[in-house]
Amino acid sequence: MSLELDGVERAYGDATALRGIDLTVRDGEFFTLVGPSGCGKTTTLRCIAGLEAPDAGAVRFDGTDVSGVPPEKRNVGVVFQEYALFPTMTVRENVAYGLQFDPPEGGSVDTRVDEMLALVDLGEMGERNPDALSGGQRQRVALARALAPAPDVLLLDEPLSALDARLRDELRLELKRVQRELGVTTVYVTHDQAEALAVSDRLAVLHDGRVEQDGEPESVYESPETRFVAEFLGENNCLDGRAVGGETGGSTVHVGSEAFDVHGDYRGPVTCCVRPESLDVNATHNRFEARVTDAEFLGDAYRVHFDWNGRPLVARLNDAPTGRVTLGFDPVDAVVLERRGSDSGRDADS
Ligand code: ATP
């Protein structure tokens, strides 16, 4: 089942939650909506589920407008952050719940429940009550319950956010495995950019009720089109400056008193974005001096904070240097964003 949102708008009184959401989710895809709190992720999910009616625009399932179709007829399964299991029912009864309205074709409810419990690795837990399970196990039950009626679309709203970090990592792998095994089209909501990068076939970064950018995790990470995306997905050092064209397909970006070589032909106000992992003490290009202000040990590397003429910078380095250090970066590793309109007014550095 493919999904399409076309210009979806939704307001609550004066508060506009969605300002025109356009996106396509392909059949069988694990698609993530990621963005900061209040950007419209849950509202988008609720519009897909039919729990919310858009003020304008259309939601289509396999090309068909579903605006007149109530939630229970859309054949979607939903898992929310809070477990929302029935506390007085056993795990089996919880998973069987959706099947009483929609019995499995050609099989018994019991068989289907067994399959689902095996799928989420809870085969032994069927007779327990939810309060005798861990948080992670409860979310597995919620997933099994959502999947039991064989939905065309699975909607997951921050399903892992109540769990501790290790369990979250474990369960997101599990979630991905189950999704792949069933091939069910899935829309996953999270505010956690690392989770979005790790789990998605494709993702959309939402900002203020709009899709700021969508694509495969690697391509959005490596080629952000806006400063918001550059800074939201992973860390970034975004330096405002002014570009002048060069002669060999490259340009020079002036930031304060420094001049950095970058690839591509740019002129005028730009933002030069360099990832922490692209800053290197051994780099041969674009070298400049900065003062170490702090360092955090990450296990496999250090996250080192610098002050560079009053600007904070962050680098991921193998060692934790102190004092003044020379850093540099390869021109190919800088993403250059053109600044336009009011954005270019912030050009205090050039
Ligand atoms: P979070 O990550 O915090 O859950 P979100 O990205 O899911 O945020 P939404 O819950 O979709 O964001 O909310 C988008 C905007 O719409 C917010 O400004 C929110 O306050 C507003 N909003 C959402 N639901 C309602 C409602 N029922 N009544 C009024 N305003 C609402």
The complex's ipTM works out to 0.96
Q: How far is the CA of 49 from the centre of ligand 1 (A)?
A: 16
What is the reported pLDDT for 307? 97
Report whether CATH 2.40.50.100 matches the domain 235-346: yes
The fold of the 3-227 domain, in CATH, is: Rossmann fold (3.40.50)
Q: Are 3-227 and 235-346 equal in CATH topology? A: no
The domains of the chain are located at 3-227, 235-346
pLDDT tens-digit profile of 130-151? 999 988 899 899 999 999 999 9
**C-alpha R_g of the chain:** 24
**151-170: pLDDT as tens digits:** 999 999 999 888 888 888 88
DSSP letters along 46-80, please? Answer: HHHHTSS--SEEEEEETTEE-TTS-GGGS-EEEE-
Q: Is 38 near ligand 1, meaning CB less than 6 Å away? A: yes
Beta bridge partners of 269: 242
Q: Give the per-residue pLDDT at 164.
A: 87
Split at pLDDT 50, 70, 90, the class of 74 is: very high
Beta bridge partners of 64: 61
- At 346 the three-state DSSP class reads helix
Neighbours of 335 (CB within 10 A): 22
- How many whole angstroms from 21 Cα to the centroid of ligand 1? 14
Q: Is 86 in the pocket of ligand 1 (CB under 6 A)?
A: no
Distance CA 120, CA 123 (A): 8
In contact, 102 and 150? CB cutoff 8 Å: no
Say yes or no: CB of residue 145 within 6 Å of ligand 1. no
Ligand 1 atom with the shortest distance to the CA of 16: 16
pLDDT at 327: 97
pTM: 0.92
Cα(298) to ligand 1 centroid in Å equals: 34
Ligand 1 and 12: CB distance under 6 A: yes
- For the chain, the first-to-last Cα distance in angstroms comes to 51
Name which of 45-49, 80-84, 296-300 the model is least confident about: 80-84
- Is the beta carbon of 191 within 6 A of some atom in ligand 1? yes
Q: Which of 39, 82, 187, 192 to mutate to test ligand 1, by most ligand atoms within 8 A of the CB atom?
A: 39
- 17 Cβ inside 6 Å of ligand 1: yes
Strand partners, 31: 187, 202
